[in-house]
Amino acid sequence: MSGNYLVVFDAGTGGGRCTIFDATGRQLMSEYREWRYRQPQVAPAAREFSPDQFFALLADACQTALTKADIEPSEVAAVTATSQREGCVFLDASGEPLYAGPNMDWRAQQEANQLAKEAGPDIYRFSGHWPHAMFPAWRLLWFKKREPELFARIARVLMINDWVLYELSGSQYSEPSNAGETLLFDINRLTWRWDFITELGLNPTLLCDVVSPGTVVGQVTPQAATATGLLAGTPVVVGGADTQMALAGSGVIDDGGCAVSGTSTPLQVATKEPVFDPQHRLWSGCHVFSGRWVLEGNAKGTGVIYRWFRDEFYGPETPFSKVNEEVRQVPPGSGGLLAFLGSAVSLPPEKPFPPSAVYGWNASYEKTGRVKAELGRSILEAIAYAVAGNADILAQVIGKEFSLVMCGGGTRGGLLPAITASVLGKPVAVNPVDEATSLGAAIFAAAGVGLYPDPRQAAEKMVPAPSTISPDPKASAVYRETQKRWLKLFMNLREL
């Protein structure tokens, strides 16, 4: 291919996106398609999706993006994919999907709890994760026990980013950043944990060969070309997990941290070797850059709660810019209102999810005329408190402070980064790219087809300079006290 454009598919939790970049990292067009999951009646927390429907939505987004950007298919140098972590697709021997589930499919709670009790510390030492129902390993055990006929037909396990590339090229490969989210991958040795896989009674042939992000693994097939509008023969390049790709798209490679403000807000620090939390609160995983790893805390339900707030109090059609305009008028501290509606500091394994409560809200607030905005600001402040709390734990575990970049939809408009900077009491860098995760994947696609010698040099050229938001001294003075109150109440509430 002689083109200089890069097409990235991003299969997220709430929807799929196709974004087009040029070789300098400039974002030309991004098309989003929301999707829904079905809830099979096999378990209360079970979630599934239709692979045909989801790929059709991604393909439609691609066709529309190419048309709006006025790009000819022959001008596309490469295509790649990134996705939500922990989501997976099981294929039969003919390559047809038997099951497809997102990271929200928690049907395997019994299996996860049993493995955590029997071997939690051992699993954490090689996988970097404490067992939880969201991980694909336990879903395989669930099918083995409860649907043995379907389990017997499973021939291949693909993470969602792997599956998108399979739909495009027919090739089946994995890469370390999302393979590490299966709990069947050894992040120290960078290979599947074959002895553990055998102990679980799983066939090793279920798992693909693992290659590095940026590896060309095939070409767009004629069938996929018809669906997407891409040119048959376009190189297909391995991508990686969405959070790590957001770090790549924000220039966080060797050190430093990045808070990815989306449905949740994972906060990852780049490390030169695997780092493990003695208390098992943090996740350790593979970076998308070779020879680098990440250590992660998570502020949990953040963007999803702020979206709920917008939908319930302003209406789903109200732009977030309008909501933020009102919220911005509320003074720091939200009049003493403290929200506990999803945000969390990294929790111990036995308490994986935070409590829900609103503290300090009473009828007299109605007289202010700004009750909605006070609640909204208290939610954003809770997100900032949680980011700061996770940053403190990460710094303790790695043994040093680190600079912080923020990216993602939650940073738009600058309100959340401004609050976060004031809570931290130090400047915060903000990635100006709307789709930092997709930019990260584009970096590896560009290197994969030779537009740059390697991903590091691609990142140097394609990642834009961040903006810097400094703390407000008056707000910081307020937050020094309110953050202490929030953390104290959070720790008490989680014991209920």
Q: Which of 334, 423, 420 is nearest to 377 (CA)?
A: 334
Share of the chain above pLDDT 70, in %: 96
pTM: 0.93
Spatial contact of 328 and 422, defined as CB atoms under 8 Å apart: no
Q: What is the pLDDT of residue 300?
A: 85
- Report angle CA 348, 426, 255 to the nearest 5 degrees: 65
Strand order in the sheet with 27-34: 27-34, 15-22, 5-11, 76-83, 235-241, 216-219
Sheet with 293-301, edge to edge strand ranges: 283-286, 293-301, 264-271, 257-260, 404-407, 428-430, 467-469
Task: Work out the burial of residue 347: count CB atoms within 10 Å of its CB; fewer than 13 is exposed, 13-18 middle, 19 or more buried.
Answer: middle
- Block residue for tokens 């890469």: 175
- Is residue 80 within 8 A of residue 36, CB to CB? The reply is no
> For the chain, which ranges sit under pLDDT 70?
1-2, 347-354, 362-369
- Tell me what pLDDT residue 349 has: 62
Three-state DSSP state, 54: helix
CA nearest 55: which of 89, 104, 25, 105? 89
Q: What is the DSSP string of 128-186?
A: SS---TTSHHHHHHHHHHH-HHHHHH--EEEEHHHHHHHHHHS---B-HHHHTTTT-EE
CB 303 within 8 A of CB 261: yes
CA 97 from chain centre, in angstroms, equals 23
Listed in order, strand segments (DSSP E) in 306-362 are 338-341, 356-359
Bridge partners for 18 per DSSP: 9, 31
Residues 164, 81 contacting (CB under 8 angstroms): yes
Nearest to 393 by CA among 246, 275, 305: 275
Domains of the chain: 5-244 (3.30.420.40), 251-430+466-496 (3.30.420.40)
Q: How far apart are the first and last CA of the chain?
A: 59
Model pLDDT, residue 363 = 59
Q: For the chain, what's the residue count?
A: 496
Residue 248 in 3-state DSSP? helix
Check: CB of residue 311 under 8 Å from CB of residue 303.
no
Per the listing, tokens 């969602």 go with 160
